Each structure stands twice: as C-alpha cells, then as structure tokens.
Amino acid sequence: MDRLRVDLGLNSYDICFTDSFDGLAKELRAINAPEKLLIVTDSNVEGLYADELVKTLERDGYKSAVYAFPAGEENKNMESILGICRACIENGLDRKSMILALGGGVVGDMAGFAAAIYMRGIDFVQIPTTLLSQSDSSVGGKTGIDFMDSKNILGAFHQPRLVYINVSTLRTLPEREFISGMGEVIKHGVIRDNAFYAFLKENTAEVRSLDTDVLIKMAKRNCEIKAEVVEQDEKENGLRAILNFGHTIGHAVESSFNFKKTHGECVGLGMAAAAYISKERKMISEQELEDIESVLKEYGFEIRAEIDDPSRVYDFMQKDKKKTAGKLKFVLPLRIGEVMQTRDVTESEIFAAIGHISK
C-alpha cells in the first residue's frame, strides 16, 4: 500500500492509497482507534459502500453504526450537522470515540465539522469516495458548512487522524462527478507542478478509463502537492491560499447557479476566468491560456456557461470569506506550475473575466 505522511507536528497523519477497503482496519489499529465507530455518509454513498465497510470492520472486531443524511450540497447546513451530533449522542459516542467520514467532499466537510464541535472535538478519519474529495478536500483539515448563500462560511480547522483513499470507489462515480473532481486535479498542476500538469495531458485516456495504477499515482501526487502547501501554512495565513486558484469566481458562479453546477465544474470556469485575467495582464501568453482551457476541455469541462447576469456573480463574490478590508484575493498564474496572489484585481477586470467564461 502506498502512503504519504502529512507532517503537522502533533496533528500529523498518514494518507493511504489503495484499491480496496481491506487494509482499513489495520490502519485504524495503528492509530489506536476505539472499537466503537460512527460511519457518517450520505444517502447516495450509503447504498454503495456502508454495508461493505461495516462488514469489513466487523471482521476485525470493530462495531460500527451508520448515520446517513440526504445527499446534496443543499443539505450542507447546520440542520445536518445537528443530525450528525444527535446520532453521536444516540450511539453513545464519548470523547474517545471516532467518526469515519465515508463519501465525497460534502460528507467530509460536515463529518469533520461535527467531529470538531462534538464534546469540543473528537477524532475522525477521512474515507473519500469521489475524485474531488480524494484529490483535495479530504486533506488539510478544512471542515465547514454553507450559510446564508455563502459557501463554507461556518467551519473549523480540524485535522483527520487518517485519510484512507480507495481509488476503486471511482468506478461507481457518475461521469459528471469524475469530471468535477478533475477540476481540483488540474488546479494542482497549474499552481505547483508543471511536470504533473504534463502527466495529466499525456495520460488523459488512462485517467478517463480509470486505470488503477494511474489513478493511484495521480492521487498520490495530488495529495503530495496539497500536503506540501498545508505543512507550510496549516491555517491559510499565506501560501495555502494558492489552493484557491479558480475559487474566487468559481464559488460565486456556483452560488449564482444555486448549486445546480458542481463545485468542480465551477472551479474549472473560475480557473479559465483567472487565467484570462493573467493573459490580459500579460503575465501568461494567449497560448498558455488556450492550453489551460484545452486541458480542461479534454477532461470534459465546459469552459463557458450561460451567465445571464454577471452582476449576480459579482454580488456573490462580495460575500467571499477570503475578502479582507473590502478587497478580494485572487490567485493568478505566472506560468504553468507557478501562481501569485493579489488583491488588486479591479471591478472591470472581474466583469471582463466573467464575460470571457460566458456563452
């Protein structure tokens, strides 16, 4: 089994990469997990993997209860958090208990947030089942929920004890969700690693056909990039903000469509918009902009959307939690593999970028 260590001092943990759940119990033993566990999942993943996980863990002496909330971003709210906390109480979880987050980014964010606030904080393990969560959201300790039309506005930094990535779960992932996850994957190449970006260009067919070895290699490099950044800036006081490439406009587009578009789809649009700003500033060439958009299209992204009201997108951007002293932070590419952060993007540049990604 491949593994990677995220070095955060007392909050350090391993990320495991494999193609089954068979090794999970051994990994839980290694972190002294209690025998009583609560598996938190959603209504989609419950029918796919909850029973398999319970039976696998039972063979090794673990007793697991399952709590599933309704699937969907629209349920990423405080009511669902209270439901998880209620399940913790009903199943007798104490301060030594542990939550297993089985599912995509919404599950991981909410299970982690519930773990952060239940009895002032209990341990949890990330078991991501989507490409989006395996490549990004399961690593780094960000947890949270949406509130008052603002994405992830309530939350906490709460690092997992373990991340267990089983790439075989991607075989049950709808194509749209797989494409969505590739947004974060491509993002990592653009912001940090030109060689990884080239790997994605050269292995498009293997990735899209779900070749196990390629998926594990891709997942590991994704997590290495995320870990390198998080280790230097755990609480997003500086460098970690580069992981928000494509998110400033992307989150606003996601909100403006009432979450009818996936997070990854909107990050793809946001990356195209941010790259356009860089091109207009002559920081990257027209060819580099076209290359980024070409890779996105090769992986199934639509890089233009029917944005009827750019002002609505702009208004949602004003609610961005990364806004400081009235200024939005943008991450803009300097070249493939390197980005910079700035707060000097003007309103006219923003509207021009929104216009660029509009049909």
Q: Coil, helix or strand for 144? A: strand
Domain end among 127, 143, 169: 169
147/274 same-domain check: no
Q: What is the CATH number of the domain that holds 143?
A: 3.40.50.1970
> In total, how many domains does the chain have?
2
Confidence at residue 325, expressed as pLDDT on a 0 to 100 scale:
66
Q: What is the CATH number of the domain that holds 234?
A: 1.20.1090.10
Separation CA 127–CA 102 (nearest Å): 5
193/332 same-domain check: yes
Separation CA 269–CA 65 (nearest Å): 39
* pLDDT over 90 (residue 27): yes
157/241 same-domain check: no
47/85 same-domain check: yes
Rg (CA), the chain: 20
261/186 same-domain check: yes
158/239 same-domain check: no
DSSP class of residue 327 equals: B
Q: Read off the pLDDT of each residue in 29-51 and give the average, rounded to a whole number.
A: 95
130/209 same-domain check: no
The shares of helix, strand and coil residues in the chain, as percent rounded to the nearest 5, are 55, 20, 30
* pLDDT over 70 (residue 334): yes
Nearest Cα neighbor of 33 from 161, 148, 130, 158 is: 161
Nearest Cα neighbor of 138 from 103, 173, 114 is: 103
**Residue 273 structural domain:** 175-356
DSSP class of residue 158 equals: -
Domain end among 118, 140, 169: 169
269 pLDDT band (50/70/90 cuts)? very high
Q: Read off the pLDDT of each residue in 12-29 and give the average, rounded to a whole number.
A: 96
The predicted-structure confidence for 207-241, as pLDDT tens digits, reads as follows 999 999 999 999 999 999 988 888 887 777 778 78
Separation CA 61–CA 51 (nearest Å): 15
93/13 same-domain check: yes
198/65 same-domain check: no
112/252 same-domain check: no
Higher pLDDT, 202 or 229: 202
Domain end among 116, 135, 169: 169
Burial of 164 (C-beta count, 10 Å sphere; 0-12/13-18/19+): buried
248/352 same-domain check: yes
Q: Coil, helix or strand for 77? A: coil
124/217 same-domain check: no
Nearest Cα neighbor of 227 from 126, 337, 139, 137 is: 139
Higher pLDDT, 35 or 21: 21
The pTM of this model reads 0.87
* Helical packing angle, 78-90 and 105-117, nearest 10°: 60
